[in-house]
Structure 1
Amino acid sequence: MNLQLVPDSAPFSAEQRAWLNGFLSGVLGGLDPKLPGGSEVQHSTGTAIEAKEQNPSPTNSSESVSSYPWHDSSLSITERMRLAQEQPTERKLMAAMAQLNCGSCGYLCKSYAEAIANGSEKNLTLCSPGGAATAKMLRKLVKESSAPASNLATSGARNSGPHVDANAEQEMGTRANPVSAELISSDRLNGRGSLKDTRHVVIHLPDSGLRYQVGDALGVYPTNCTELVDRFLIASRLALDANAVVNGKCVGLKDELQHRCLRTIPMEIVEAAVTLIKERPKRNGQVRADANIVAELQAFSESDQFDDLDCVEFMELFPSIPWTPQIVIDCLQPIAPRLYSIASSQSRYPREVHLTVSRVESMIRDRTRKGVASTMLADRLMPGSHVKIFVHKSHGFTIPLDPKAPMIMVGPGTGIAPFIAFLQQREVDQALGKNWLFFGDQTRENDFLYREQLSRWEENNVLSRLDLAFSRDTAEKIYVQHRIKENGAELFEWLESGAYFFVCGDARRMALDVENTLLEVIALHGKLTPTQAQSYLKKLKESGRYVRDVY
């Protein structure tokens, strides 16, 4: 029986309080902590703490994370696939994921793989951290197996969008049932001389009872810009005023395309193109020409171009396909929501939610490519405009329950977002625990995000230490991991005194470099062997004192 150790007044949801009561009861009573519903918490590698999925699928009681040796984000995809080569299809699919459990796809790595294998999820491009390499491997595995996703049809079933929890459909402000919220402002944080455009975005919360905790993420449903939609329609030779049927309703094609993913090419659209070419009436001499087009389409689907081009380029590459509005809409997935770490405390801003958003734009093959959500928030939405949002809960990535516990936070660039929220909450709570922030970016003059706020927190002793790393201000590039190493002795003392170590940001480089540096610090100042340092870090993970929000 669980003890009631966390009061109802504590700033947690009912589910979080239930988990915490169960966990603390287990620790105090020598029992295995349980999640609501009886599924065990898997702490063996710390990945359950890192996940941002609202309702992850319970892990089979006969399995643990250690059953999946490929579930390590530091391994290459080649190595992960080697470790899973004798496993069933759903585990091979899991090994192809980025192994971050970041939740950006709406699943954990394991549950996304299982959804593909059982046919409930047909989109093979949701793992954004894994990028083209993951998508290509998933297609290969699906093609080689009898997984239902290999027999997809353009039946309109794709209109349902990405995975959602059935229980969440009755709630407001969930992935399945987002709320419409008003944009208050989108202010640039960088100086005029910066190469970056980072925005502090403020959104007004509607009267819907939407609640969030520090450490949660905000899901934002973006829309395509008009220029991209128009170019797609011209390339596909479809009329600007054409209509299609979506969920039994007649909609304008142009309006619907604003909500459809054009960034990646779905296999369904290639398969539909092949079918359309094969089935169209043949004129004299067209049989051979069409056979050549079919061969080119099939070769294209196996080439690197498939992962490199977007839907506009695909339409321009194969201009003779006789598209219809309905087939196009049935082939294209709804745009998946983008998740942003929340940069505010609701205790400080009861009717607002703040984000730190880096505007993404690049030039690829002489064409400007724009981040669909970041440019919407930075350019296209004016104050007073509305956007669909929901709260994506984070179980574990939040401030310590003990207000006296020290916190070490590593958040370069936009990775600083959740730590702005952490520090706001600790200021509101008048928490006595020390707070140490490592922040870095390109230049101090132009890229010192939240400079005034951080300086005020230093003056007020909310922020006990602030170590900065600006990579382009010195001849030799300096990053946050260098500052961690320079201050290794004191940092290890903080860990020994019970400090929590948080990391937010890029998983592929920064988070890995920070972890390797942390291991060096532990080994050096703890006088431990590399193996002992690994064990020390593992214990930090198991106790929830080494927590990452990486992507």
Structure 2
Amino acid sequence: MYWVVVHAGEVPYREGQSIGVIADGEDKNGKPHKLRLYSIASSALGDFGDSKTVSLCVKRLVYTNDQGEVVKGVCSNFLCDLKPGAEVKITGPVGKEMLMPKDPNATIIMLATGTGIAPFRSFLWKMFFEEHEDYKYTGLAWLFLGVPTSDTLLYKEELEKMKEMAPDNFRLDFAVSREQTNAAGEKMYIQTRMAEYKEELWELLKKDNTYVYMCGLKGMEKGIDDIMLDLAAKDGINWLDYKKQLKKSEQWNVEVY
């Protein structure tokens, strides 16, 4: 995993948006590479507070295909191999699905796997690392971050610092699937960790000012649905119908791949 800061000049963006990156060079057909979208991992002010940079969280993609050939992801390797001062073609910003709620008293539940932490880092920087005349976060932010091993916990020190700074406003739970298990001995995936708080999470989901954001691997979505199906049924509620209502009111926001 790499943290890339792009000096973007006058490219205003909002927390939760993405930018497109076009890698240098051409594809096998001699055409320019297609743009790849990356969630922005910095607040609108940027990591240096001057509104001139965009931070991205990038995982270098390298794998061996069925023919035994080593394949490298075009854009991820381009970004990870950049030298300071290199020029980068970018587009955007784009995206409405993951925009941070404007209500400073909202309950914001963030569900991330791997580099899916990117938009939530942008949220949390605005909430806890910055001061704004027109915004002071007073609600509850609760982050569930799932990764395979503890050495892939992105921004761990930052997140723990935020928890120290705002213990009443920020809750933080990690799910490390290859190292942790629950009481039943099951691997600790993000939905497994959430199940430990399922009653509390369900009560929060019944409130009008609770917003859920999910970013990362698509596989976690079904596991979370499975938890909520049973909880909702106890209250005589059809979870899939209820989730549609949440989506309509922009309280259930999903960006998975």
TM-score (norm 2): 0.87
Distance 1:519 1:534, change over 3 A: same
Cα deviation for residue 434 of structure 1 reads 0.7
Superposed CA RMSD in Å reads 1.8
- Alignment of structure 1 residues 176-325 onto 2, 5 Å: 198-206=1-9, 209-223=10-24, 258-260=25-27, 262=28
Which digits, 9 at most, give the CA deviation of each residue in 1:497-548, with x for residues without a partner?
33101100122x1223223333333334xx225xx22222121111110011
- 1:418 aligns with 119
Q: Please tell me whether residue 344 in structure 1 is matched to residue 42 in structure 2.
A: yes
- 2:143 aligns with 437
Q: Please tell me whether residue 368 in structure 1 is matched to residue 73 in structure 2.
A: no
The structure with the larger Rg is: 1
Partners of 2:42 and 2:230 in 1: CA distance: 33
Partners of 2:38 and 2:145 in 1: CA distance: 18
Alignment equivalent of 2:216, drawn from 505, 515, 518: 505
| Paired letter, 2:212 | F
* Other structure's SS at 2:144 match: strand
- Alignment of structure 1 residues 57-72 onto 2, 5 Å: none
* Other structure's SS at 1:549 match: strand
| Paired letter, 2:230 | E
Structure whose residues are more often strand by fraction: 2
- 1:284 aligns with none
Partners of 2:70 and 2:240 in 1: CA distance: 45
Distance 1:522 1:484, change over 3 A: farther
* Other structure's SS at 1:345 match: coil
Structure 1 residue runs of 4+, over 4 Å off? none
Partners of 1:200 and 1:443 in 2: CA distance: 18
Alignment equivalent of 1:548, drawn from 250, 254, 257: 254
| Paired letter, 2:4 | V
| Paired letter, 2:17 | D
Cα deviation for residue 395 of structure 1 reads 1.7
Q: Please tell me whether residue 392 in structure 1 is matched to residue 102 in structure 2.
A: no
User: Identity, % of aligned pairs?
Assistant: 36
Alignment equivalent of 2:160, drawn from 455, 469, 479: 455
- 1:229 aligns with none
TM-score (norm 1): 0.42
- 2:32 aligns with 334
| Paired letter, 2:140 | K
Structure whose residues are more often helix by fraction: 1
* Other structure's SS at 1:369 match: strand
| Paired letter, 1:500 | Y
* Other structure's SS at 2:99 match: coil
Distance 1:347 1:392, change over 3 A: closer
Partners of 1:200 and 1:518 in 2: CA distance: 34
Which digits, 9 at most, give the CA deviation of each residue in 1:310-329, with x for residues without a partner?
xxxxxxxxxxxxxxxxxx64
Confirm or deny: 8 A CA contact 2:22 2:35 kept in the other structure: yes
Q: Please tell me whether residue 470 in structure 1 is matched to residue 180 in structure 2.
A: no
| Paired letter, 1:373 | C
Q: How many residues align?
A: 242
* Other structure's SS at 2:88 match: strand
Which digits, 9 at most, give the CA deviation of each residue in 1:222-259, with x for residues without a partner?
13xxxxxxxxxxxxxxxxxxxxxxxxxxxxxxxxxx22
